[in-house]
Amino acid sequence: MPACREDLRKRIAAATPEDTVRGLSFNGIFAAVREHCGDETARATDSRGKGSRTAFVSYPVADFLTVAWNAADALEGAYGTVDSVFYEMGRRGALAVFDSLWGRTLLSLAGGHAHGLATQVGPGYRGAVSYGERNLEWVGPRHCRITFRHDFLVPQYHCGVLATALEFQGVRNIRVEGRQTGLLDAEYEAWWD
C-alpha cells in the first residue's frame, strides 16, 4: 500500500520556510533507493531530479518529506511495508550522519555508552534539522523515553534512527517503539541490554 499522501499533505502544510533538513538525511534515502531501484529511480524520487544533495547544506523540510514519501512508494517492494521503508530510511539517515565528522564527534561525546548517546539526542537532531524539540527521560538504567515535539517525520523513521544510534554504542537486544501523539508529536521508548 503506498505511503499516505493525505498525511504528507498535512505535514507539508504545517511546514514553514524556516523548517529545514541537512542534505545528509536526503542522501541516506537516495542511497537506499539507488541500491534497490537504481539511479534513475533515485533521481525520479527527487523533486529536483538530481537524486543527491550537498551533505551539510540545509533544504526545506517540505522537499525532504516529498522525497521520503516518493522513496517509500519506490522501496515498498524491497522492504515489504511502508513502515519498514520509513524505518530503513531513518537507519540510512543515521548511518550517513555517523559517517560524517560531525557524527563521529557526537559518538565521541557519547563516551562509548548508550547513556551518553541518549543525552546527545537533542544536540544531534539540532545539527540535522532546524525544527522541533526532543526531551529525554530515564525510565530505568537501560530504558529511556524521548518525546518529540514539532517533528515532521513519522515514528518509524525515528525508530530507525534511534536503534541505529544505539547499535553504534555496541549495545545488544535493542528495541525501539514509537507512537504518534499528534500530527507532529511522538513518544519513543528505547530498551537495550
pLDDT of residue 92: 93
Is the pLDDT score of 108 beyond 90?
Answer: no
Contacts of 148 (CB under 8 A, 6+ apart): 132, 133, 134, 158, 185, 186, 187, 188
* pLDDT category of residue 45 using cuts at 50, 70 and 90: very high
* pLDDT category of residue 42 using cuts at 50, 70 and 90: very high
Instruction: Give me the residues paired with residue 116 across strands.
Output: none
- The single-letter code of the amino acid at 130 is S
**For helices 101-109 and 121-128, angle between their N-to-C axes, nearest 10 degrees:** 170
Instruction: For residue 4, give the H/E element and its range.
Output: none
Alpha helices, DSSP H, located in 80-177: 82-98, 101-109, 114-119, 121-128, 155-167
CATH code of the domain made up of 116-191: 3.30.1380.20
Q: Which residue has the cell 539526542?
A: 121
Which of 153, 186, 181 minimizes the C-alpha distance to 67? Answer: 153
Helix (H, G, I), strand (E, B) or coil at 148: strand
- Mean pLDDT in residue range 138-158: 96
pTM (2 decimals)?
0.93
Contacts of 5 (CB under 8 A, 6+ apart): 69
Residues of the chain with CATH 3.30.1380.20: 116-191
Q: Give the tens place of pLDDT for each residue, 171-192.
A: 899 999 999 999 999 999 999 9
